[in-house]
Amino acid sequence: MADCLLAAGFELAQHNEKADILVVNTCSFIASARKESDAAIREACAMKKKGLYLAVIVTGCLPQRYFDRIQRQYPNVDAFLGIDALDRVASTARRLISTEKARPLVDIPPKPDRIIERHVAGVVFSTGAYAYLKIADGCKRRCAFCTIPQIRGPHRSRSHSSLLSEAEELINRGFRELTLVSQDVTSFGHDRGEVHALEKLLRSLDSLDGDFWVRVMYAHPGGVTTRLLETMASLKHVVRYLDVPIQHADAKVLARMGRGNTFKDVVSLPDRARQVMPDIVLRTTCLVGHPGEDKRAFNTLLEFVTAARFDHLGVFVYSPEEGTLSASQPDRPRAEIAAERRNQLLAVQTRIMREKQQALLNSKGVVLLERQEKRRRWTWMGRSYREAPEVDGAVLVNNVDKVAHIGDFVKVRYTGFKGCDMIAQAIDKGD
């Protein structure tokens, strides 16, 4: 949307207060995300009432899913754009400026099925040395608890060529990590009938010139094949890191979640991945409190997580969503039991993380510098291949050369840890 606005001659304001038009891009995946979106729309409308803005445009998943409700709730909003209309934001803004005609303008195609391509890397909102490369949108899977396929529509992949040209430009602009994302990266290309398209994309990205990392996030366990793991292992730019949300490890709960066919893939994942890449870093997320998760099922998950020793693990408490199969299922654990289970899993993971941090001490690694710390001269925050941006903690590096820049790769020796972060000393190249 930022690219479209720029191309149409608009400028992006550095602060909300300096803007004429405010675009509120929303999420409506779960209740807490909707709450945040609602708060942002309320704030925008209140500021418009005070005369700060000419117009407020609300875009994305909330109007896509709940247009009737939010139209009634926010009569001050000037335009609503659905998922497939995001690249019409500039023409919408233009119409708002040039006409006093009846508001709101509404452009919400009911069933999203477009893929909005991006052949040049435009505005990048991430800070640091990484940029997200969104390779597809929507989802072909039907997990019983999830609203994403209903909101964002069927899975559709971007073209190989647009991804490559965007990646090349990002690298030329100095980004040192391309983080591949979509609702399920392992489905890439399947909508076009292509097989092994993700492997092909990784090989193409790997062949680009430059010093950079490629990181793969959101891999569905059913799509993590030995072939994919072997491809990753063979490529020099693709880091040995994989994010695979397993959700659960009990066969019956996985079946209730609509992910029953992934049971074998889930329980075999850590061994399969480490056999191909012994140094692979595995991240996962689990969902506790889903209908059908009794004490025995939860213990199965707890034992699995204890034995699997994931490097990073996030835990969500199930939230029933209107229009999903899970919401109508019986035997849902009480909220306090679900919260307690989340705490139990996190306690186990904290112990595993400490042991892993301890084991790293005195070993060497490579860190991508991302932010110079102001309070302590020559101290930098960075990430090694072990940490994905925004979710996994960081590496605090001391003793960095005075002339270092964001995006430099430095060799380090690990000297300590603090919370989720590692502490390290930069060392000479020859060390």
Contact between 253 and ligand SF4 per CB under 6 A: no
Shortest Å distance, C-beta 318 to ligand SF4:
12
Task: Output DSSP code: residue 399.
Answer: S
Among 141, 196, 356, 371, binds ligand SF4 (CB under 6 A): 141
CB of 300 or CB of 326, closer to ligand SF4: 326
Closest Cα to residue 159, out of 186, 184, 191?
191
Which residue(s) pair with 414 in the sheet? 424
Q: Does 139 help bind ligand SF4 (rule: CB under 6 A)?
A: yes
- Determine the Cα–Cα distance for residues 394 and 212; give it in Å rounded to an integer: 18
CA distance 20 to 11: 10
User: In angstroms, what is the minimal distance from the CB of 196 to ligand SF4?
Assistant: 19
Structural element, H or E, at residue 207:
none
Stretch that binds ligand SF4, among 136-144, 193-201, 230-238, 307-315 (CB under 6 A): 136-144
Nearer to ligand SF4, 26 or 326 (CB): 326
Q: How many residues bind ligand SF4 (CB under 6 A)?
A: 10
Nearest to 322 by CA among 29, 41, 26: 29
Q: Which H helix or E strand runs over 179?
A: strand 177-181
Between 109 and 149, CB nearer to ligand SF4: 149
Smallest distance, ligand SF4 to C-beta of residue 257, A? 8
Q: Which stretch binds ligand SF4 (CB under 6 A): 117-125, 137-145, 382-390, 407-415?
A: 137-145
DSSP 264-276: HHHHHHHHHHHHH
Reduced to 3 states (helix: H, G, I; strand: E, B; else coil), residue 352 is helix
Can you read off the two tokens belonging to residue 176?
Answer: 């040192």
Contact positions with ligand SF4 (CB under 6 A) in 176-205: 183-184
Candidates 5, 55, 143, 353: give the one binding ligand SF4 (CB under 6 A).
Answer: 143
- At position 207, the amino acid (one-letter code) is S
Amino acid type, 104: P
Asked if 148 is part of the footprint of ligand SF4 (rule: CB under 6 A), the reply reads yes
Which residue, 55 or 197, has its beta carbon nearer to ligand SF4?
197
3-state SS assignment for residue 7? helix
Contact 139, 180 (CB under 8 A): no
Q: Are strands 395-398 and 409-418 parallel, antiparallel or unpaired?
A: unpaired
Q: How far apart are CA 284 and CA 310, in angstroms?
A: 7
Nearer to ligand SF4 by Cβ, of 5 and 219: the residue is: 219
> Which stretch, 102-110, 142-150, 290-298, 323-331, contacts ligand SF4 (CB under 6 A)?
142-150
Residue 215 touches ligand SF4, criterion: CB under 6 A: no
- Binder of ligand SF4 out of 109, 122, 149, 365 (CB under 6 A): 149
Q: What is the closest distance, in whole angstroms, from the C-beta atom of residue 173 to ligand SF4 in the complex?
A: 30
Binding site for ligand SF4 (CB under 6 A): 139, 141-143, 146, 148-149, 183-184, 220
